[in-house]
Amino acid sequence: MYTWSEWCPTEAKSAGIRCFPMLWGDKNKDKFKKIAQKGYSTYALGMNEVNIKGQSTMSPGRGAWMWRTYMLPLQAKGYKLISPSTANGKSAAAWMKEFFKTCPECKKSTTAVAAHYYGTDPQKFIDYMTDLHNQLQMPLWITEIGCQDYSGKNKQCTQSQANNYLNTVITWMDKTSWVQAYFWYGE
């Protein structure tokens, strides 16, 4: 689990749930640096939804600076690093490619690429993740998945549709070797 912040609930560890801190973006960089110390966790997640307004929203160049400043030092503390996350859309692969081009050491230090996907068609999810993997040629952590549509069309899933979506994408992710982890989104 993660909490879109540097913070991991103490109850998670006692319940046997692995929790990973996130450098959400500029708003938590100082707290992240203070808390993400050796032994706190085994993985650290990069910035949240860098490619859309209203989230951490930053250029690949700014992302590279944050990665070099806050994420790279964590490797010496035993962390494996998960890339900044992108929201599904055409800008996701382009943002990540530019990030890695701007910062070759960012790519070298990244264990997996984080991606988010919201939609109502499980096959579109599978097609999107396959295309993203093929373009980036790196393992994926799908750090947000939901059967909902944020496009403004208000097309939300019924319980039956959500169950089908969840079962379909989990079955696919479990048998796809380059999907290393996934997190269902719930409010």
Burial of 118 per CB tally in 10 Å (0-12, 13-18, 19+): middle
pLDDT band of 115, cuts 50, 70, 90: very high
pLDDT at residue 186 above 80?
Answer: no
Q: What percent of the chain has pLDDT over 90?
A: 86
Q: What is the pLDDT of residue 187?
A: 53
Report the topology of domain 23-184.
TIM Barrel (3.20.20)
pLDDT at residue 132 above 70?
Answer: yes
pLDDT at residue 155 above 80?
Answer: no
Task: Compute the residue count for the chain.
Answer: 187
Q: What is the pLDDT of residue 178?
A: 98
Average pLDDT, the chain: 94
* Tokens describing residue 163: 């169950």
Q: Following DSSP, what letter does each residue of the chain receive, concatenated? A: ---SSS---HHHHHTT-----B--SGGGHHHHHHH--TTS-SEEE--S-TTSTTTT---HHHHHHHIIIIIHHHHTTT-EEEEEEE-SSTHHHHHHHHHHHH-HHHHHHEEEEEEEEEES-HHHHHHHHHHHHHHH-S-EEEEEEEEB--SSS--B--HHHHHHHHHHHHHHHHT-TTEEEEEE---
Q: What is the pLDDT of residue 56?
A: 95
Q: Return the closest-CA partner of residue 89 out of 62, 108, 116.
A: 116
Q: What is the largest CA-CA distance in the chain?
A: 46
Lowest mean pLDDT among 11-15, 63-67, 167-171: 11-15
Q: What is the pLDDT of residue 157?
A: 87
CB of 10 closer than 8 Å to CB of 1: no
Tokens 């050796």 -> residue: 38
pLDDT at residue 154 above 70?
Answer: no
* β-bridge pairing 80-86 and 179-184: unpaired
Please give the torsion angle defined by the CA atoms of residues 31, 5, 178 and 126, in that order, rounded to the nearest 10 degrees: -150
Backbone phi and psi for residue 181, each to the nearest 5 degrees, phi listed first? -160, 155
Q: What is the pLDDT of residues 25-77, one digit of tens each?
A: 999 999 999 999 999 999 999 999 999 999 999 999 999 999 999 999 999 99
Q: What is the pTM of this model?
A: 0.94
CB of 47 closer than 8 Å to CB of 83: no
